[in-house]
């Protein structure tokens, strides 16, 4: 059974494994669209423009915000990130569920604009495990890791505002749980 057309927000601290869970859901349910955000941060090794993000400069980003093209946007870890509204509307109009992998400020902003959105918060089994995962992926400097761990504490405090909380201790089980939540209307 294809998953219903619905706007789904997935948030959680950096390193918690949101990307892995979303990829697993899409592998099992190819009708699901993954929203591609715009960001002013530099691409990491292995990231592709237009696939992982639309990488834009500050001026372009400001233009997108002032023209009203963003469903939401936020400054996260020193860079700007935002969701183009058109891709969300296009996916839903075509009958596809769409997942926005965005931070908690963005999640709360989406809830205000789209009260029917499903907000899912992914939690780490523990802070120690989150630190281990962030260090293990090797994509950030130690300073960036410290910044993301400090931010994680604030983000975890926002979890009660979400509709559903999933602890990512086992990626396959957590991805199944995410898909089950998306199947409920």
Q: Which residues bind ligand 5GP (CB under 6 A)?
A: 14, 37, 41, 72-74, 76-77, 81-83, 101-103, 105-106
Looking at the Cβ atoms of 33 and 74, the one nearer to ligand 5GP is 74
Quick check: 8 and 49 in contact, CB under 8 A? no
Quick check: 15 and 156 in contact, CB under 8 A? no
Minimum separation from the CB atom of position 101 to ligand 5GP (A): 5
Minimum separation from the CB atom of position 37 to ligand 5GP (A): 3
Looking at the Cβ atoms of 12 and 97, the one nearer to ligand 5GP is 12
Looking at the Cβ atoms of 6 and 11, the one nearer to ligand 5GP is 11
Q: Phi, psi (5° rounding) for residue 85?
A: -70, -35
Kindly state the tokens that stand for 164: 């559903």
Q: Cα–chain-centroid distance for residue 78?
A: 17
Minimum separation from the CB atom of position 164 to ligand 5GP (A): 16
Minimum separation from the CB atom of position 138 to ligand 5GP (A): 13
Q: Phi, psi (5° rounding) for residue 154?
A: -65, -40
Label the pairing between strands 79-84 and 164-167.
unpaired
Looking at the Cβ atoms of 27 and 79, the one nearer to ligand 5GP is 79
Distance CA 39, CA 3 (A): 28
Kindly state the tokens that stand for 32: 């699901």
Looking at the Cβ atoms of 1 and 39, the one nearer to ligand 5GP is 39
Minimum separation from the CB atom of position 172 to ligand 5GP (A): 21
**Closest alpha carbon to 104 in 154, 41, 177, 167:** 154
Kindly state the tokens that stand for 22: 């979303």
Looking at the Cβ atoms of 139 and 176, the one nearer to ligand 5GP is 139
Minimum separation from the CB atom of position 1 to ligand 5GP (A): 28
Label the pairing between strands 164-167 and 7-11.
unpaired
């Amino acid at each position: 059974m294809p998953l219903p057309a619905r706007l789904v927000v997935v948030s959680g601290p950096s390193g918690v494994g949101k990307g892995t869970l979303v990829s697993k859901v899409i592998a099992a349910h190819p009708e699901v669209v993954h929203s591609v955000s715009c960001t002013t941060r530099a691409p990491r090794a292995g990231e592709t423009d237009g696939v992982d993000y639309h990488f834009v400069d500050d001026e372009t980003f400001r233009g997108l915000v002032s023209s009203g093209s963003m469903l939401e946007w936020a400054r996260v870890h020193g860079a700007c990130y935002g969701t183009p509204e058109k891709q969300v509307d296009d996916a839903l109009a075509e009958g596809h569920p769409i997942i926005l992998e965005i931070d908690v400020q963005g999640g709360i902003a989406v809830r205000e604009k789209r009260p029917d959105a499903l907000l899912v918060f992914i939690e780490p089994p523990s802070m120690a495990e989150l630190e281990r995962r962030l260090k293990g992926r090797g994509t950030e400097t130690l300073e960036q890791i410290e910044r993301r761990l400090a931010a994680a504490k604030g983000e975890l405090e926002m979890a009660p505002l979400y509709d559903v909380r999933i602890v990512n201790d086992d990626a396959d089980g957590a991805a199944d749980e995410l898909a089950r939540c998306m199947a409920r209307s």
